[in-house]
């Protein structure tokens, strides 16, 4: 496995790689979710290229940019273990040089849910992903369903800007007790880790109700929030029962639906979602 840091090095290395190229953009501190993306790319593509970049522009003031977990040696050995060909680790200074002033914004899809609670987050995401795509020029790019709104925003951006890259969304990978894998799980102490299973339990309770015939979106939201509120270490930020395509809140469920929620477990913010219908 080769690693590169600068954009010219990346372009030179990429030009020598057989196509199609599968690309996995990450912020590092890898877990099984990331590796599942790399394994899928390995099956589907002649070359697999990953990036590790903790993107400052998608963090708001007061968010966890400076203490976001990092462990590059561990990340590189994990990517090597799933036969990634090339890892690009650009620097913030190279990605956002003095005078940087161009932003990519996806309007409607970025408004609610994470966008409402993290203003500017998806502008940072769309901009950095556009840059990574232009630098790497892969044929396919892989993202996790755990960040459901991010996946929707990136698919919309690629469609709207005629970016010739197939966006592939892979299932959320979970711990044995249902907790969705996330780099931020590293922040949790033992009690918080135990309490964090409540996200999965809340989503599962809503899904059981749906499978029992419940089609009222507000009832499903209530089931989720009641489940969360029972857990004293966890503070609910939002629950949502939204149309899967538009991410607008539903009154009555009829087609593919995104159940999602965000909570604080102590100081750690966690999100999760189920797709139903």
Interacting residue ranges for a second copy, rule: CB under 8 A: 7, 11, 99-109, 126-127, 130-131, 134-135, 137, 156-157, 160-164
SS3 256: coil
189: tokens are: 């102490």
CB closer to a second copy out of 18 and 99: 99
CB closer to a second copy out of 101 and 255: 101
Catalytic residue at 34? Answer: yes
What ranges in 121-269 are assigned the alpha helix state H? 121-136, 148-160, 190-195, 198-211, 217-229
**Strand 268-276 vs strand 257-265: parallel, antiparallel, or unpaired?**
antiparallel
- β-bridge partners, 180: 174
Catalytic residue among 25, 26, 30, 34: 34
Shortest distance, position 267 Cβ to a second copy, whole Å: 33
Shortest distance, position 158 Cβ to a second copy, whole Å: 9
Q: How far separated are the first and last CA of the chain, in Å rounded?
A: 41
CB closer to a second copy out of 36 and 51: 51
φ, ψ of residue 253 in degrees (nearest 5):
-80, 130
CB atoms within 10 A of CB 190: 7
- What CA–CA distance (Å, rounded) separates 219 from 162? 39
Shortest distance, position 170 Cβ to a second copy, whole Å: 23
Shortest distance, position 102 Cβ to a second copy, whole Å: 4
CB closer to a second copy out of 79 and 122: 122
The catalytic site residues sit at 34
């Amino acid at each position: 496995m080769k690693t590169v840091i600068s954009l010219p090095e990346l372009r030179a290395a990429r030009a020598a790689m057989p196509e199609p190229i599968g690309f996995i953009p990450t912020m590092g501190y890898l877990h099984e979710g990331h590796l599942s993306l790399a394994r899928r790319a390995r099956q589907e593509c002649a070359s697999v290229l990953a990036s590790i970049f903790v993107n400052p522009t998608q963090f708001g003031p007061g968010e966890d940019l400076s203490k976001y977990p990092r462990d590059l040696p561990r990340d590189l050995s994990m990517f090597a273990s799933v036969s990634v060909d090339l890892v690009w680790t650009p620097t913030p200074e190279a990605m956002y040089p003095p005078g940087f002033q161009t932003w990519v914004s996806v309007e409607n899809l970025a408004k609610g849910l994470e966008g409402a609670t993290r203003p500017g987050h998806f502008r940072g995401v769309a901009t950095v992903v556009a840059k990574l795509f232009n630098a790497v020029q892969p044929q396919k790019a892989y993202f996790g369903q755990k960040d459901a709104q991010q996946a929707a925003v990136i698919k919309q951006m690629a469609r709207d800007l005629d970016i010739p890259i197939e966006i592939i969304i892979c299932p959320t990978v979970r711990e044995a007790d249902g907790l969705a894998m996330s780099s931020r799980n590293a922040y949790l102490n033992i009690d918080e880790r135990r309490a964090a299973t409540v996200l999965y339990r809340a989503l599962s309770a809503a899904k059981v109700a749906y499978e029992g015939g419940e089609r009222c979106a507000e009832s499903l939201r209530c089931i989720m929030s009641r489940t969360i509120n029972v857990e004293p270490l966890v503070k609910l930020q939002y629950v949502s029962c939204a149309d899967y395509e538009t991410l607008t809140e539903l009154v009555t469920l009829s087609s593919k639906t995104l159940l999602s929620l965000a909570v604080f477990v102590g100081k750690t913010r966690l999100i999760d979602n189920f797709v139903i219908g």
